[in-house]
Structure 1
Amino acid sequence: MKAFILTRHWRDTPNGTEIELWASTDTGTRKILLTSQESVAFAPAEYKAQITSQIASLQGARVRPLTLKNFQRREVVGVYCAQYRQLASLSKRLQDAGVPVYEADIRPPDRYLMERFITASVQIEGGIADGVTITDCRLRSAPEYRPILSLVSLDIETSPHGDLYSVALEGCGERRVYMLGPAPVAASSLNFDLEYCSSQKQIIERLNTWFQRFDPDLIIGWNIVQFDLRVLQAHADKLNISLTLGRAARPIEWRQHGRKEGYFFATIPGRLVIDGIEALKSALWSSPAFSLEAVSQEMLGEGKGISDAYDRMEEIERRFHEDKPALASYNLKDCELVTRIFEKAKLVEFLIERAQVTGLQADHFGGSIAAFNHHYLPRMHRDGYVAPNTGQIPETSYPGGFVMDSRPGLYDSVLVLDYKSLYASIIRTFLIDPVAMIEAETESDNDAVVPGMRGIFFSRKKNSLSDIVTQLWIRRDDAKREKNEPLSQALKLLMNSFCGVLGSPDCKFFNPDLVSSVTLRGHEIMRQTRKLVEDEGYEVIYGDTDSIFVWLGHRHTDGQAAAVAERLVAAINQWWDEHLSIKFNLQNFLEIEFDTYYQRFLMPTIRGEELGSKKRYAGLTRTASGNESIVFRGLETARSDWSPLAQKFQRELYMKVFRSEPYQEFVRSYVRDVRSGKLDGLMIYRKRLRNRLDSYQKNVPPQVRAARLADEDNLRRKRPAQYQNGGWISYLITRNGPEPLQATTSPIDYEHYINRQLKPVADAILPFVADNFGNLIEEQTNLF
């Protein structure tokens, strides 16, 4: 039987640690129990006597010699305990006594799966079957298996003070709302099931029953863990009843974030719980704001219809007291929007593939270090080593990606050439690997090592990390050929995370010299690439990490530019093939590709200076359908902290300049429209308060001043404060300074928008056509 692991759990029993895996199969969900599992950690062999003394009174504990070494190349022993908590307690006592202990932090399910090279899909063999439970079977990896998962979208509505009003569910063939209060006298015609509940307790009880009856694999929602599930749990606790949304009527397992106050993780036994915001971010979707309203408008072209938070709260209150069917429809609409966003972005497919690739539970976001460990630790063990502990090397800085000085200007015909997964290809080509670095320290044969940077070397004999990257790379090429975009994206993200993981002090393998052998090699590669391009007679005007911007010198057609790009790509790749073979006896996996052709391209200066900017540019290109489009990077249009007024102005002005069309009257007309009030709707700033409102003392930015005014207005209206713990604020700049959109009392300061929003945008491009914003509007300014 093949299965996809949904959730992982463990518990200590008198007979050892029991691992519980809930998994989806083609014939239903199964609970896999692996009983009597030992837990293991490692310690230097010279401490064996001390360890033996410590475990003398521990039942089921033992020490065993192993053919493994630590990163100081000292032999280690295995320290085994029947229970995982017993091992954790022993590890702490030993370390307090000065005995180093390694890998004691690997949880039992993760240890079991990683050592068998299992990520998410498994083949179940043998065992004892009893209903849905299979005990003490054998598991092996089945990476080809993909499950068909059932899901439900869940959303709640509350009062402004957090009192539960209703719960909506869409999925498993159901569209249902549980509503607090008596049914109205006049029945409504609805296209979903609406059940009225006499109490909040009854809502939760019916919700528990629904989950046991329809049994979804996934629960999806928007901010579902931090809001919906937390509110439901708080009500259940207050009412002294259980919230049993897990399989086998199990409760949610809550864990608070260690560093982020008020942030919680939720594990629901047998079910994945997936927040749409986290899922989109993990798939690298970008959005100016991640509210359900903003994302649904952007992706689906529709939203909830009540955009202002307090209008929404007041309308929810009105509907709850006057029109409960309308509130139920509103509640269910949120579920429908979330479901459609998941479908449009193929989020479930992506998360399944991500789990298959990383070895992490599908609803665990972030986790790059855990994913690295899942792949690297078992291979490192087979190379004869155990992992060091976090913090063994002091936290120090190391060089980042290479960014060339730019040459500012307005150009015709610029090519962008891009190295395919540069850092991953450097790891793969130069055999960069933590164990290989340790092995090379004792290697006397120069031909047996590859030079890194900063005087370190890597063994050619043991380099698991490059093997891992090679396997992932091949899988990604296969996924691209098969047009499996979710799998291709998941593989790319994992490969590209490896350098960052090695550069994180939270990683067991953190070593500035190790990660510098990636980043500094990247610097070397980009400098050499620039030289190769210039040797071909072209000028490089900018470069950033893995991309190089090539000016062709004069205007080219799309076909001519593509032909130049093809020649450059072939020449550069051939040079690396020959150079790496001759100098290092290495196979080249560096591969530069043709990325983009810009018909017109702007590299602006740093504002107020003559130096070229970095990571900020704009270019006119042609889409696959043949339409012209401007790509903005780092400029106002691409940044959410600039007003729509500036963004619209930039898009239209740059298009005119790029097309060599007259722009003077457009600028003057736009300024006139600003001063006449025609564009007031575009002047709203929307910014995020990342900290508590009372934490801003010395530096008080405009959004904070607006938020304080907003909450003063809320209190006057006897409404809850909205911004004390941060959040998004919409405001205008008025003649009396920033004022919240919900409580604006002063006239808009149009000159602020002209001088602080329009002028910087215009003066980034107009000097390159011998003009400036001030000259264009001087006559108008005099009139005012």
Structure 2
Amino acid sequence: MSPQPSTSKDTSQPKTSPGGPGSKVKTTPQKGKRSKSRSPSPRPPRSLKDTDYIEDTLLEKSGVNGDLKVTYVDSEEMLFDEVLKLISRWDPDILVGFEIQNFSWGYLLQRASHLSINLCALMSRIPEDKRKSSFKAESDEWGADHSSEIHIAGRIILNLWRLMRHEVALNIYTYENIAFHVLHERIPHFSFQTLSSLFNHRTHLYRWRFIQYYLTRVEGNMRIIDQLDLIGRTSEFARVFGIEFYHVLSRGSQYRVESMMLRLAKPMNFIPVSPSVNQRARMKAPECIALTLEPESRFYPDPVIVLDFQSLYPSIMIAHNYCFSTCVGRLDYLKKAYDGPIEFGCTNLRITPSTLDKIKDHVTVSPNGVVFVKKHIRKGIISSMVDEILNTRIMVKKSMKEYKKDKGLQRLLDARQLGLKLIANVTYGYTGANFSGRMPCIEVGDSIVRKARETLERAIQLVEDTPRWGAKVVYGDTDSMFIELKGRSKDEAFVIGQEICDAVTAMNPKPIKLKFEKVYLPCVLQTKKRYVGYSYETPDQKEPVYDAKGIETVRRDSCSAVSKILERTIKILFTSRDVSQVKEYILKQCTKLMQGKVSMQDCIFAKEYRGMKGYKPGACVPALEIAKKLLRNDRRAEPRVGERVPYVIVYGSPGLPLIMLVRQPQELLQDPSLRINATYYITKQILPPLDRLLSLLGVDVFSWYNDMPKVVRVLPQSLMPAEKKKGTISQFFSTVNCPVCDKLTNQTICNNCMQNPQMVCVSLCDRITKWEKVHQTLIQICNTCMGVQDERQPCDSLDCPIMFRRVLAKQDHHKADQLRVTLEKALEF
């Protein structure tokens, strides 16, 4: 459906910002305009002999022509009538908006509520039933951080940015950042003030930019959905799981497992147990946990092979027939079965003595003492379900190889195999969810975990008890092993790793299988679930792949500077094996940060906002402080629950608490007197992860920093606002360095440099030319991105690195003017 901007006269418009991405466009028509619907597509040229003059519409005067179908109305009430006609005509199943609560459809619903129009009920497919259509404008309900607060009967509402949180791992989920990482395009961002000025300009020259801004976002929403195949993949998941489309997005994994499991249980006349909250609370606590060894924390220069059991928990369910329907109970309780029902999960199990006598020779006992019948007596429902899932996934992946040319079929089959993989991996969690589970059974869950632990322990023992391999297990986690091969080459590691896989697979029942995953050469094991290395997946792979788990390079709770410096440090260490090169790089980065030569974008933190009710009274949380500042200026500006709020840490007066140094990135760009707190970033953010890594080599990173000369960046007085020049320490350092040689001096240019005026002239002119050229180049890049030449440069996208470079270049351009004045004075002298 093509977007259809509308215009209206609004006599009761509140003082709020224009609608956000994906919202309808509302404009103010000219006086005397007819209420008429027509397309502003190019018309045949008018001749001078025409007697009837057709006046241009508002958007045609602004140069907005083409395929847009625009409807003009006389009032805002009529505008909503046109919206309802549009919905009635197309009858969409899905309504999409990038931010559905504050902007887009949410903005329309709030305006309709202000005009006493129940738009939710009128948009629904059951207009008479108003109870199923609702919109909560002020309070977050449970689940709003997963889907949407808008509920319209018969239609699906998709809040796109919330869906993106589960699709792509980003630091900030703004439209511009998502568009760059998904569509690989840079899209400018304008403030509401800028958009209002473009639309309400006294001429018609700039209104097209407003229209184009929102049309780009409406079309971009659809392109993002298509690029990620959200509709097709979600539909395929719904078909595989046997649940509704919207429930794939809004419900959890237990709902999916239960849907598939009950379809198998119903033909067998099984009814699921429905335990109450009190019954779940009285159930025994889990007794078994997965095996996670404490690694030998150090640097490994020799090959370390990583072996992983393929779908270990589902394979154990299939191999040993573990299920609700095959579990007889704990071995200790069976002796009491003659006296009546025995304890079983959340409920009781009644089993007769005659039945126990019949099956006593046809049972298996799990390592934690729970009895299960064998397959020939009764095949478990869960084991049957998981077996079918894994076999079906193998067939689907085989079909994907046969139909590589059909892209549409490839996407469908890939979505299907992904859905089967997800459901197989969460089946164990359904049996062991003792706190919030729908039907937990601790006997089944503990048996699966204990058997998996035993399987891994036996594999580790086999590896270390085979002398010809010369291998040592240095780390193990649930279903994987890290095996060090001292003195072996990479090629030998692949051969030995495959032999270990074959031997371990042979000693376990089908379908339990140990797979060869990769070889690390070299690597570092820090602690549990935290390691990094250069990985090789095939023997003929020439260049390694940087692979990290759990460390700061792959985490999002810090700023980009931390992950970039740490990753580069690790690569230097792995490539050169020279600590001196690592030290040189770290000190260089610390110096650049103290001099203010790093991009502010790399210093931005982003933390999730939990809502005003999600924090304790008096909590000092940066995201909460930013939200309070925004609310003081605009009551609609509060971040949504789950939104990642960006902030930076700046310098302040001595003794101020850290929470007082939190600023929005926009504040840092607008106020030249604010500076990034380099001391905080270095000592509290960058050096601690480096120390955790390099301390394994016996290196003290903090001593490197303490011994290095400290650099202080002084802001020129001309760049500071007039009200902040007075009383700042920077005023005492305004002319202490020579602009040519950078030596301390009390003059404009030091005496040594003034002895060679030709060198001074060439050096300063070259620097001025370079700064001006960089500034002009960045302006051209921004103009190309915006699609128009605009000297004001209104784009304020925090996700674009060019904007931060442009701000620094603007400061350099201002300093170039100062150097030009200095040069003229020097030449006069």
Per the normalisation by structure 1, the TM-score is 0.69
Q: CA deviation at 1:374?
A: 1.6
2:478 counterpart residue number: 545
Counterpart CA distance in 2 for 1:598 and 1:684 is 32
1:651 counterpart residue number: 567
Counterpart CA distance in 2 for 1:459 and 1:192 is 68
1:625-653 Cα offsets, whole Å, 9 max, x none, are 85443222111111111111111101111
Q: CA deviation at 1:162?
A: 5.6
Counterpart CA distance in 2 for 1:221 and 1:449 is 56
In the TM superposition, 1:470-509 aligns within 5 A as 470-483=387-400, 484-504=413-433, 505-509=435-439
Counterpart CA distance in 2 for 1:337 and 1:209 is 24
2:610 counterpart residue number: 690
Task: Provide closer, same or farther for how the CA distance between residues 453 and 390 of structure 1 changes in structure 2, counting only shifts above 3 A.
Answer: farther
Counterpart CA distance in 2 for 1:489 and 1:497 is 13
Q: Indicate which of 402, 405, 426 corresponds to 2:294.
A: 405
1:560 counterpart residue number: 492
Counterpart CA distance in 2 for 1:408 and 1:354 is 41
2:503 counterpart residue number: 571
Counterpart CA distance in 2 for 1:593 and 1:168 is 47
Task: Provide closer, same or farther for how the CA distance between residues 448 and 643 of structure 1 changes in structure 2, counting only shifts above 3 A.
Answer: same
In the TM superposition, 1:267-286 aligns within 5 A as 271-280=155-164, 285-286=168-169
- SS in structure 2 opposite 1:447? coil
Counterpart CA distance in 2 for 1:697 and 1:723 is 19
2:525 counterpart residue number: 603
Contact preservation (8 Å) 2:552, 2:566: yes
2:662 counterpart residue number: 739
Task: Provide closer, same or farther for how the CA distance between residues 755 and 212 of structure 1 changes in structure 2, counting only shifts above 3 A.
Answer: same
Q: CA deviation at 1:160?
A: 9.5
Stretch moving more, 687-696 or 619-628: 619-628
- SS in structure 2 opposite 1:576? coil
2:363 counterpart residue number: 449
Contact preservation (8 Å) 2:19, 2:104: no
Amino acid at match of 1:552: L
Task: Provide closer, same or farther for how the CA distance between residues 408 and 336 of structure 1 changes in structure 2, counting only shifts above 3 A.
Answer: same
Task: Provide closer, same or farther for how the CA distance between residues 746 and 278 of structure 1 changes in structure 2, counting only shifts above 3 A.
Answer: closer
Contact preservation (8 Å) 2:2, 2:68: no
Amino acid at match of 1:519: V
Contact preservation (8 Å) 1:731, 1:739: yes
1:435-476 Cα offsets, whole Å, 9 max, x none, are 222599634223333323543222331411111111111111
1:469 aligns with 2:399: no
Q: CA deviation at 1:248?
A: 8.1
Q: CA deviation at 1:517?
A: 1.5
Task: Provide closer, same or farther for how the CA distance between residues 779 and 293 of structure 1 changes in structure 2, counting only shifts above 3 A.
Answer: same
Task: Provide closer, same or farther for how the CA distance between residues 321 and 373 of structure 1 changes in structure 2, counting only shifts above 3 A.
Answer: same
Task: Provide closer, same or farther for how the CA distance between residues 432 and 743 of structure 1 changes in structure 2, counting only shifts above 3 A.
Answer: same
Task: Provide closer, same or farther for how the CA distance between residues 488 and 276 of structure 1 changes in structure 2, counting only shifts above 3 A.
Answer: farther
1:393 aligns with 2:326: no
Counterpart CA distance in 2 for 1:155 and 1:435 is 59
1:7 counterpart residue number: none
Q: CA deviation at 1:265?
A: 5.7
1:103 counterpart residue number: none
Task: Provide closer, same or farther for how the CA distance between residues 491 and 202 of structure 1 changes in structure 2, counting only shifts above 3 A.
Answer: farther
1:296 aligns with 2:219: no
Q: Indicate which of 173, 191, 210 corresponds to 1:327.
A: 210
Counterpart CA distance in 2 for 1:210 and 1:168 is 15
Amino acid at match of 1:388: V
Amino acid at match of 2:365: P
Contact preservation (8 Å) 1:434, 1:509: no
- SS in structure 1 opposite 2:169? coil
Amino acid at match of 1:521: K
Amino acid at match of 2:506: Q
- SS in structure 1 opposite 2:217? helix
1:291-350 Cα offsets, whole Å, 9 max, x none, are 3332222222224422xxxx6332333334334432222222222222222232222232
Counterpart CA distance in 2 for 1:236 and 1:335 is 21
Contact preservation (8 Å) 1:707, 1:740: no
Amino acid at match of 2:593: V
2:84 counterpart residue number: 208
Higher helix share: 2
Higher relative contact order at CA 8 Å, sep ≥6: structure 1 or structure 2? 2
Counterpart CA distance in 2 for 1:707 and 1:222 is 20
- SS in structure 2 opposite 1:407? coil
In the TM superposition, 1:661-672 aligns within 5 A as 662-672=581-591
Runs of 4+ in 1 over 6 A off after TM superposition: 151-161, 248-252, 255-258
2:708 counterpart residue number: 780
Contact preservation (8 Å) 1:220, 1:276: yes
Unaligned runs of 5+ in 1: 1-150, 170-176, 578-587, 605-612
- SS in structure 2 opposite 1:601? strand
Higher strand share: 1
1:32-60 Cα offsets, whole Å, 9 max, x none, are xxxxxxxxxxxxxxxxxxxxxxxxxxxxx
Counterpart CA distance in 2 for 1:270 and 1:637 is 44
1:383 counterpart residue number: 268
Counterpart CA distance in 1 for 2:261 and 2:110 is 40
Contact preservation (8 Å) 1:179, 1:197: no
Task: Provide closer, same or farther for how the CA distance between residues 363 and 556 of structure 1 changes in structure 2, counting only shifts above 3 A.
Answer: farther
Counterpart CA distance in 2 for 1:319 and 1:338 is 23
Contact preservation (8 Å) 2:315, 2:512: yes
Aligned length: 599
Unaligned runs of 5+ in 2: 30-57, 331-348, 401-412, 653-657, 713-829
- SS in structure 1 opposite 2:325? helix
- SS in structure 1 opposite 2:245? coil
Q: CA deviation at 1:217?
A: 4.5
Q: Give percent identity, aligned residues only.
A: 20
Contact preservation (8 Å) 1:449, 1:457: yes
2:683 counterpart residue number: 755
1:372 aligns with 2:257: yes
Amino acid at match of 1:763: D
Q: CA deviation at 1:266?
A: 5.3
Contact preservation (8 Å) 1:166, 1:178: no
Counterpart CA distance in 2 for 1:210 and 1:501 is 44
1:687-728 Cα offsets, whole Å, 9 max, x none, are 2222427834455244444554x34xx63x567553597743
Counterpart CA distance in 1 for 2:133 and 2:456 is 47
1:425 aligns with 2:290: no
Q: CA deviation at 1:216?
A: 4.2
- SS in structure 1 opposite 2:172? coil
- SS in structure 2 opposite 1:636? coil
In the TM superposition, 1:13-52 aligns within 5 A as none
Counterpart CA distance in 2 for 1:475 and 1:698 is 54
1:29 counterpart residue number: none
Q: Indicate which of 55, 62, 80 corresponds to 1:187.
A: 62
Counterpart CA distance in 2 for 1:719 and 1:259 is 22
2:695 counterpart residue number: 767
Contact preservation (8 Å) 2:519, 2:537: no
Contact preservation (8 Å) 1:154, 1:221: no
Q: CA deviation at 1:408?
A: 0.6
Task: Provide closer, same or farther for how the CA distance between residues 187 and 724 of structure 1 changes in structure 2, counting only shifts above 3 A.
Answer: closer
Counterpart CA distance in 1 for 2:5 and 2:428 is 38
CA RMSD after TM alignment:
3.6
Contact preservation (8 Å) 1:166, 1:180: no
Per the normalisation by structure 2, the TM-score is 0.65
> Which of these two proteins has the greater Rg computed from alpha carbons?
2
Counterpart CA distance in 1 for 2:152 and 2:175 is 23
Amino acid at match of 2:174: S
Task: Provide closer, same or farther for how the CA distance between residues 152 and 377 of structure 1 changes in structure 2, counting only shifts above 3 A.
Answer: farther
Counterpart CA distance in 1 for 2:487 and 2:6 is 60
- SS in structure 1 opposite 2:608? strand
2:229 counterpart residue number: 346
Contact preservation (8 Å) 2:304, 2:520: yes
1:540-573 Cα offsets, whole Å, 9 max, x none, are 222222222222223533x433322221211111
